[in-house]
């Protein structure tokens, strides 16, 4: 694996003459100092900004290409002309250089490298096998909890559907530990035959462990053995006239058959990713299909940037390196094109995964059909993206004509607030660009009522906009147009904030619903003209509605999360001397704050970690 100490780059400015050189002359001057060993290099401009990160089997031979810009494309010539400094890291092998290169690309995001635009995380299914009573649940993020993970799944809907079937098949609990250890009666999940109700003692620990083992075996592609064992148990229960038990086993077998029927053409693909690429007019789309346990876990489309002039093999190699830096690596990867350094990539992924990883572009039969399907899906996704982009460009031109501006509109921000009678108040900002909604740029604003009356929507809007544009001015990150959810008064608040902060060249528009608040009757309010109602079937009105509705969705969602978190605040949180550990011990012992209030000081002192003095303090505070 990569030694993190190696992340300290070595500069190669040898001699005073090198400091005055730039571009190809600088590279030529420094060539003699480059080692003929594997390693990673990065190019920096005069401001120290990283232009490009690359790897090489022989650093000197690879960097010699940059001393002859006439042999490269226009894009690389432009990069070479900006080189002020080159720094290197030597590695033991080329595979190690590949891993280090992609780790640096993901962190530094150099302009001239092929980059993944969307670096999302994927949900998994987790069985917490290390718990006393293991839990079956959906998991997203780092794998901090110990247990068996199954996935990744391309979408939340795919994992939810599989989770529902697994609950029917294996009857494992999905409730949280806090709920589980404080229940005495079975919940609804037991009534609908999705849980064996271990919380109420409806199943022994040994039998529940057997269910867990069966679930893990199924996740590791041993479903045939699981089904045959269940069939034998069902026949035995039926022969002994234990018909209710036989019926439960029958339902479990049907649930397993449902999953099996979805993957009849995936035999022999227990743990595999199929990756296809389609390129047209210097735009590329990569489709990844996930197959785990001979079952499809969905597909994911990626649109890498900075791909102009690159071959499909180059783009695919860059994608694989960056994608598997943060995602689980399967045992096998099938590709639609052969990589230039396919064996090096396979060795690098094997090092990172800690197991042998096979990469192949030579397929036939079912595997060939799956690779062809990935390429077809990549083509269709790229065509859809292109058409959606053209439609958005047309709508932005219409908005530009409506506002009477000559420069292109590159960034639109829409604002909305959400609260319930002043509680859990939040402001929300969503961002739209010519490429669509930019969710990484969304922002939420927690509202405090220190300077205005709780429930004052206008005061909330003033605070949100003031905070946003103060920061925007300092970071030089301003929108072209802002939409405010509200009418004339809300627009005046926005205009007053823009004027007070002296924000230049930002157009503010208020979007008010009609009298009966029906979609299609919105009124647009402007700073320098009369209000306007667009036709009901005007595409621009539909676009503005989508912006407003997205801001409303984000604001409501953020408010609900804040409200839920606020309700989880316990009276114990305000007691000095009570931290997370003691709070957990108290709640596990008594079940609730209400129960703690009903007991004596002596009873409170019996809890582990609670002294008599602290017990008296807790008693007094709660009273």
Task: Assign 307 a pLDDT band (cuts: 50, 70, 90).
Answer: confident
What mean pLDDT is reported for the chain?
Answer: 84
Q: Give a yes or no: residue 61 inside a domain.
A: yes
Query: Quick one: pLDDT at residue 586?
Result: 82
For residue 492, pLDDT over 70 is answered with yes
Q: Is residue 400 part of a domain?
A: no
Q: Does residue 35 lie within any of the structural domains?
A: yes
The whole-angstrom separation of Cα 489 and Cα 477 is: 26
Residues 75 and 191 in one domain: no
Separation CA 284–CA 286 (nearest Å)? 7
Whether residue 454 sits in one domain with residue 577: no
Handedness of CA 231, 233, 236, 240 (dihedral sign): negative
Q: What global pTM score does this model have?
A: 0.74
pLDDT of residue 257: 67
The verdict on 151 and 87 lying in the same domain is no
User: Under DSSP, is residue 11 helix (H, G, I), strand (E, B) or coil?
Assistant: strand
pLDDT of 267 strictly over 80: no
Q: What angle do CA 219, 222, 226 make, to 5 degrees?
A: 100
Pair 367, 292 in one domain: yes
Complete edge-to-edge strand list for the sheet that includes strand 85-90: 10-11, 85-90, 39-44, 50-56
391 is a domain residue: no
* Same domain? 421 vs 511: yes
Q: Read off the CATH number of the domain in which 585 is found.
A: 1.10.150.20
Q: Are 441 and 544 members of one domain? A: yes
Instruction: Give the separation between CA 36 and CA 40, rounded to whole angstroms.
Output: 12
Q: Is the pLDDT assigned to residue 594 strictly greater than 50?
A: yes
- 222 and 338 part of one domain: no
Whether omega before 127 lies within 30 degrees of 0, making that bond cis, reads no
Q: Is 388 part of any domain?
A: no
Q: What are the φ and ψ backbone dihedral angles of 317, each rounded to 5 degrees?
A: -65, -40
423 or 282, greater pLDDT: 282
> Cα angle at 260 between 256 and 262, to 5 degrees?
125
Non-local (6+) Cβ contacts of 52 within 8 A are 42, 43, 79, 110, 111, 112, 113
What pLDDT score does 5 carry?
Answer: 40
Alpha helices in 479-572 (DSSP H): 488-500, 539-567
Residues 555 and 430 in one domain: yes
Helices (H), 435-481: 457-475
More confident residue, 183 or 549: 549
Which strands form 295-302's sheet, in the order they lie side by side? 295-302, 283-292, 271-280, 332-335, 358-360
**DSSP letter string over 272-314?**
EEEEEEEEETTEEEEEEEEEETTEEEEEEEE--BS-TT--HHH
Whether residues 89 and 159 share a domain: the answer is no
CB neighbour list of residue 86: distance below 8 Å, 6 or more residues apart: 12, 26, 27, 30, 41, 42, 43, 44, 63
What pLDDT shows up at residue 305? Answer: 87
CATH for 435: 3.30.420.340
Half-sphere exposure of 44 (CA within 13 A, CB side): 16
The CA distances from residue 558 to 412, 490, 550, in Å, are 20, 21, 12
Burial grade of 219 (CB within 10 A; 0-12, 13-18, 19 or more): buried
Whether 606 shows a pLDDT value over 60: the answer reads yes
- The DSSP bridge partners found for residue 287 are 276, 301
pLDDT of residue 6: 45
Tell me the pLDDT band of 4, cut-offs 50, 70 and 90. Answer: very low
Residue 90 clears pLDDT 80, i.e. is over it: yes
pLDDT band at 623 (very low <50, low <70, confident <90, very high): confident
Task: Give me the CATH number covering residue 326.
Answer: 3.30.420.10
- The answer to the question of residue 371 being in a domain is yes
What mean pLDDT do residues 390-415 have? 92
> Which has the closest alpha carbon to 27: 59, 75, 64, 61?
64
∠ CA(441), CA(320), CA(338), 5° rounding? 140
State the residue range of the domain holding 225. Answer: 124-261
Instruction: Decide if 150 is inside a domain.
Output: yes
* In a shared domain, residues 435 and 370: no
The number of folded domains in the chain is: 5
272 within 8 A of 373, measured Cβ to Cβ: no
SS3 call for 24 = helix
Biggest CA pair distance of the chain: 94
Q: What pLDDT score does 3 carry? A: 45
Residues 358, 418 share a domain: no
Which of 243, 261, 279 is the last residue before a domain boundary? 261
- Give the number of other Cβ atoms within 10 Å of residue 137's Cβ: 18
Q: DSSP secondary structure string, 181-247?
A: TT--S--HHHHTTS---GGGTSS-HHHHHHHHHHHHHHHTT-HHHHHHHHHHHHHHHHHTT-HHHHH
472 and 431, same structural domain?
yes
Q: Give the pLDDT confidence score for residue 380 in this predicted structure.
A: 94
Question: Residue 129 half-sphere exposure, CB side, CA atoms within 13 Å?
Answer: 15
452 occurs within a structural domain: yes
């Amino acid at each position: 694996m990569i030694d993190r100490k190696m992340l300290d780059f070595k500069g190669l400015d040898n001699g005073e003459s090198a400091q005055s050189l730039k571009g190809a002359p600088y590279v030529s001057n420094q060539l003699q100092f480059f080692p003929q060993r594997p390693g990673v290099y990065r190019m920096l401009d005069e401001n120290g900004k990283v232009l490009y990160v690359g790897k090489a089997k022989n650093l000197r031979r690879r960097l010699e290409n940059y001393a002859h810009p006439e042999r490269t494309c226009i894009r690389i010539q432009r990069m070479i002309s900006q080189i002020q400094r080159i720094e290197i890291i030597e590695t033991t092998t080329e595979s190690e250089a590949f891993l280090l290169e992609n780790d640096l690309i993901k962190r530094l995001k150099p302009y001239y490298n092929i980059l993944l635009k969307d670096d999302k995380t994927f949900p998994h299914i987790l069985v917490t096998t290390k718990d006393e009573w293991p839990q079956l649940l959906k998991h997203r993020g780092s794998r901090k909890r110990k247990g068996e993970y199954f996935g990744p799944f391309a979408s939340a809907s795919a994992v939810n559907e599989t989770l529902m079937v697994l609950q029917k098949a294996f009857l494992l609990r999905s409730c949280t530990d806090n709920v589980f250890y404080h229940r005495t009666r079975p919940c609804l999940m037991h009534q609908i035959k999705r849980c064996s109700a271990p919380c109420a003692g409806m199943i022994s620990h040994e039998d529940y462990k057997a269910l867990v083992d069966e679930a893990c075996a199924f996740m590791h592609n041993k479903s045939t053995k699981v089904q045959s064992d269940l069939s034998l148990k069902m026949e035995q229960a039926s022969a002994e006239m234990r018909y209710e038990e036989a019926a439960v086993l029958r339902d479990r077998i049907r649930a397993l058959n449902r999953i099996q029927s979805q993957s009849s053409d995936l035999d022999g693909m227990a743990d595999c990713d199929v990756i296809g690429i389609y390129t047209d007019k210097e735009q590329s789309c990569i489709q990844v299909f996930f197959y785990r346990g001979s079952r499809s876990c969905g597909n994911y489309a990626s649109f890498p940037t900075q791909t102009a002039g690159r071959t499909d093999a180059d783009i695919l190699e860059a994608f694989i390196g960056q994608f598997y830096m943060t995602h689980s690596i399967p045992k096998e990867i099938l590709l639609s094109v052969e990589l230039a350094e396919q064996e090096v990539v396979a060795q690098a992924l094997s090092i990172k995964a800690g197991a042998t990883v096979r990469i192949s572009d030579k397929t036939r039969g079912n595997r060939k059909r799956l690779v062809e399907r990935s390429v077809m899906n990549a083509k269709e996704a790229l065509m859809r993206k292109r058409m959606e982009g053209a439609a958005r460009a047309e709508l932005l031109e219409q908005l530009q004509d409506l506002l009477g501006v000559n420069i292109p509109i590159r960034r639109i921000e829409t604002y909305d607030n959400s609260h319930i009678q002043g509680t859990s108040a939040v402001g929300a900002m969503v961002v739209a660009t010519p490429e669509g909604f930019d969710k990484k740029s969304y922002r939420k604003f927690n509202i405090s009522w220190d300077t205005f009356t709780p429930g004052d929507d206008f005061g909330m809007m003033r605070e949100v906009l003031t905070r946003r544009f103060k920061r925007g001015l300092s970071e030089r990150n301003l929108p072209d147009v802002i939409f405010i959810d509200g009418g004339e008064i809300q627009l005046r608040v926005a205009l007053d904030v823009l004027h007070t902060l002296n924000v230049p060249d930002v157009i503010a528009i208020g979007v008010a619903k009609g009298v009966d608040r029906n979609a299609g009757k919105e009124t647009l309010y402007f700073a320098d003209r009369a209000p306007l109602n667009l036709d009901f079937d005007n595409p621009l009105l539909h676009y503005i509605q989508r912006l407003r509705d997205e801001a409303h969705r984000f604001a409501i969602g953020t408010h609900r999360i804040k409200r839920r978190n606020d309700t989880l605040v316990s009276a114990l949180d305000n007691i000095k001397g009570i931290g997370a550990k003691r709070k957990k011990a108290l709640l596990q012992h008594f079940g609730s704050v209400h129960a703690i209030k009903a007991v004596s000081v002596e009873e409170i002192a019996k809890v582990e970690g609670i002294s008599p003095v602290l017990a008296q303090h807790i008693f007094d505070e709660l009273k």
